[in-house]
Amino acid sequence: MAGQETRIRVWRGDASGGGFEEYRLSVEEGMVVLDAMHAIQATQANDLAVRWNCKAGRCGSCGAEIDGKPRLMCMTRMSSFAAGATVTVAPLRTFPVIRDLVTDVSINYEKAKNTSPFQPATSSPDVAQRLYQEDVERIREFHNCIECYLCQNVCHVLRDHSEHERVYAGPRFFVRLASLEMHPLDGADRVTQAKEAGIGLCNVTKCCTEVCPEGIRITDNAIIPLKERIADRYNPVGRLFRLISAGD
Ligand code: SF4
Ligand code: SF4
Ligand code: FES
C-alpha cells in the first residue's frame, strides 16, 4: 500500500449528528491509522478532532472503530488493509460523541470509582504478607490493562442496552475485580462486589477478549472465575454437584 493513494472515510460531526467524509492520502511506509489522521489534519482538515497521547499503544486514548472493529489507531498499520481498499474510521459507538473521533468515556471513570482499591487483609493471624510467585503470575496479565475501553465499547450489554449503563460495570472492571479477588493479600469481598457490579448480565460471548489490544484473556481468566466463585457462594447445591463431578 506504501506510496499508493488511499481513500479514507472519516466520521465527522458532533453530538447533534454527522456523517462520513472521504479523504485521499498517499500512504507512506510504516504509516499507522493515527499517522493518516494526522496527515489529514495537516493537509486537508485541520479541525479534525482526534484524541491521542503516546502513539505507542500505552496510553489507551486513540481507540476508534476501524472498518467496524474497535482498535487503537496508533497500533493499526495502513499496510494491514488490502491495496485499493477504502478504510473507514469512526468514533467508538458506545460512548457519546464529543466531536469527530473523540468520545466522552467519562462513564468509565465513574465506574472506576465504584471499585474500591486494594484493601490489605490484616484480621487473620495467618496473614504473613506472603505472596507466592504463582499468585503474581496469575494476576500479572490483568495489570497490563491500558484502560483503552475497547472492551467496554464492544460489550453488547453496554453497547445495545443503555439501560445497563449504571448497573453493569463491564469487562474492564471485571478484570480489575478479578485482579483484586485473586490477590491473596486483598481482604475485601470482591465476589459480592462482582455480583453487585452486574456480572450476571455477561453471557460470555468473548467479544471483549477479541478486541483487547493487550491480549488479556478477559473472559476465560477474569469473568468466568468470578462467575464460578459467585455460583459457589450463592448456589451451594451447584457447588456440591461440581465437587462430586470433579471427584468422579
Ligand atoms: S464476554 Fe461478557 S463482558 Fe465480554 S463482551 Fe461478552 S457479554 Fe460483554
Ligand atoms: S481490558 Fe483490554 S480492552 Fe479492556 S480496557 Fe483494558 S486493555 Fe483495553
Ligand atoms: S496514542 Fe496512546 S495508545 Fe494510541
Cell digits for 97?
A: 460523541
Ligand 1, pocket-test mutation among 158, 218, 220, most atoms within 8 A of CB: 218
- Determine the distance separating the centroid of ligand 2 and the alpha carbon of 211, expressed in angstroms: 8
Ligand nearest to the backbone CA of 204 = 1
Q: Measured from the CA of 58, which atom of ligand 3 is nearest? A: 3
Residue whose CA lies nearest to ligand 1 atom number 4? 208
Give the tens place of pLDDT for each residue, 103-158: 999 999 999 999 999 998 876 565 566 788 999 999 999 999 999 999 999 999 99
Cell digits for 113?
A: 470509582
- Residue 130: predicted pLDDT: 76
Say which residues have a Cβ less than 8 Å from residue 171's Cβ, sequence separation at least 6: 151, 152, 155, 202, 208, 218, 219, 222, 223
Q: State phi, psi for 184 to the nearest 5 degrees.
A: -65, -15
Q: Measured from the CA of 62, which atom of ligand 3 is nearest? A: 4
Instruction: State whether the beta carbon of 173 lies less than 6 angstroms from ligand 2.
Output: no
Residue whose CA lies nearest to ligand 1 atom number 2? 202
Q: Which H or E run includes 192?
A: helix 190-196
The pTM (predicted TM-score) of the whole model is: 0.92
Question: In this structure, are residues 190 and 235 in contact, taking their beta carbons and an 8 Å threshold?
Answer: no
Ligand nearest to the backbone CA of 147 = 2
Residue whose CA lies nearest to ligand 1 atom number 7? 202
User: What does the DSSP 8-state code read for residue 221?
Assistant: I
Residue whose CA lies nearest to ligand 3 atom number 3? 57
- Determine the distance separating the centroid of ligand 2 and the alpha carbon of 198, expressed in angstroms: 18
Ligand 2, pocket-test mutation among 147, 158, 179, 209, most atoms within 8 A of CB: 147
Say which residues have a Cβ less than 8 Å from residue 166's Cβ, sequence separation at least 6: none
Domains and CATH numbers, the chain: 5-103 (3.10.20.30), 106-247 (1.10.1060.10)
- Residue 235: predicted pLDDT: 79
Instruction: State whether the beta carbon of 214 lies less than 6 angstroms from ligand 2.
Output: yes
Nearest of 23, 67, 66 to residue 45 by alpha carbon: 23
Output the tens digit of pLDDT for each of the chain's 248 residues: 567 889 999 999 999 999 999 999 999 999 999 999 999 999 999 999 999 999 999 999 999 999 999 999 999 999 999 988 999 999 999 999 999 999 999 999 999 999 999 998 876 565 566 788 999 999 999 999 999 999 999 999 999 998 888 899 999 999 999 999 999 999 999 999 999 999 999 999 999 999 999 999 999 999 999 999 999 998 777 667 766 766 55
**Dihedral angle over CA of 173, 179, 185, 189, nearest 10:** 40
Q: Measured from the CA of 205, which atom of ligand 1 is nearest? A: 6
Bridge partners (DSSP) of residue 12 are 19
Q: What angle do CA 113, 211, 224 make, to 5 degrees?
A: 65
- Residue 244: predicted pLDDT: 74
